Amino acid sequence: MVESSALNLRGKVVLVTGASRGIGAAIAQAFAREGATVAVNYLANEAAAAQTVAACQAAGGNAWAVQADVGNPAAVDAMAQAIAQEAGPIDVVVNNALRPYAFDPERRQPLDALAWSDYQAQFDAAVGGAFHVCRAVLPQMRQRARGSIVNISSNLVEHPVVAYHDYSTAKASLVGFSRNLASELGPFGIRVNCVAPGLVYPTQGSAQTRESFRESLMAATPLRRLASPEDVAGPVLFLASDLSRFMTGQVLLVDGGLVMR
CATH number of domain containing 207: 3.40.50.720
**Residue 208, pLDDT above cutoff 80:** no
In a domain, 113, yes or no: yes
- List Cβ neighbours of 81 (8 Å cut-off, separation of 6 or more): none
pLDDT category, 64, cuts 50, 70, 90? very high
Share of the chain above pLDDT 90, in %: 87
Residue 229 to residue 23: CA distance in whole angstroms: 5
SS3 220: coil
**Residue 162, pLDDT above cutoff 80:** yes
In a domain, 5, yes or no: no
SS3 183: helix
- List Cβ neighbours of 46 (8 Å cut-off, separation of 6 or more): 65, 67
> Across the beta sheet with 37-42, what order do the strands follow?
62-67, 37-42, 13-16, 92-95, 147-152, 190-197, 251-254
Q: What is the pLDDT of residue 203?
A: 76
Share of the chain above pLDDT 70, in %: 98
In a domain, 169, yes or no: yes
Tell me the pLDDT of the chain averaged across its residues.
Answer: 94
Q: What is the pLDDT of residue 230?
A: 96
DSSP-derived letter for residue 227 is: B
Residue 88 to residue 140: CA distance in whole angstroms: 9
Q: What is the pLDDT of residue 191?
A: 98
DSSP-derived letter for residue 228 is: P
Residue 170 to residue 162: CA distance in whole angstroms: 15
Q: How many domains does the chain have?
A: 1
In a domain, 84, yes or no: yes
**Residue 194, pLDDT above cutoff 80:** yes
In a domain, 156, yes or no: yes
Whether the model clears a pTM of 0.85, i.e. scores above it, the answer is yes
**Residue 1, pLDDT above cutoff 70:** no
- What amino acid is encoded at 84 in this protein? A
User: DSSP of 50-70, one letter per residue?
Assistant: HHHHHHHHHTT-EEEEEE--T
Partners of 191 in the β-ladder: 148
In a domain, 235, yes or no: yes
In a domain, 60, yes or no: yes
Which is catalytic among the residues 42, 101, 164, 167?
Answer: 167
Backbone angles phi, psi at 200, to 5 degrees: -105, 130
Is the bond preceding residue 202 a cis peptide, omega within 30 degrees? yes
* Higher-confidence position of 72 and 2: 72
In a domain, 6, yes or no: no
Residue 147 to residue 202: CA distance in whole angstroms: 31
- Residue 115 CB: number of other CB atoms within 10 A? 10
Q: What mean pLDDT comes out for the span 63-67?
A: 98
* Higher-confidence position of 3 and 47: 47
Q: What mean pLDDT comes out for the span 210-231?
A: 91
Mark whether 164 is an active-site residue. no
Per residue in 73-126, pLDDT (tens digit) is 999 999 999 999 999 999 999 999 988 887 888 888 999 999 999 999 999 999
Residue (of 191, 203, 176, 179) closest to 243 by Cα position? 191
Domain that holds residue 182: 13-254
**Residue 174, pLDDT above cutoff 70:** yes
Q: What is the pLDDT of residue 105?
A: 82
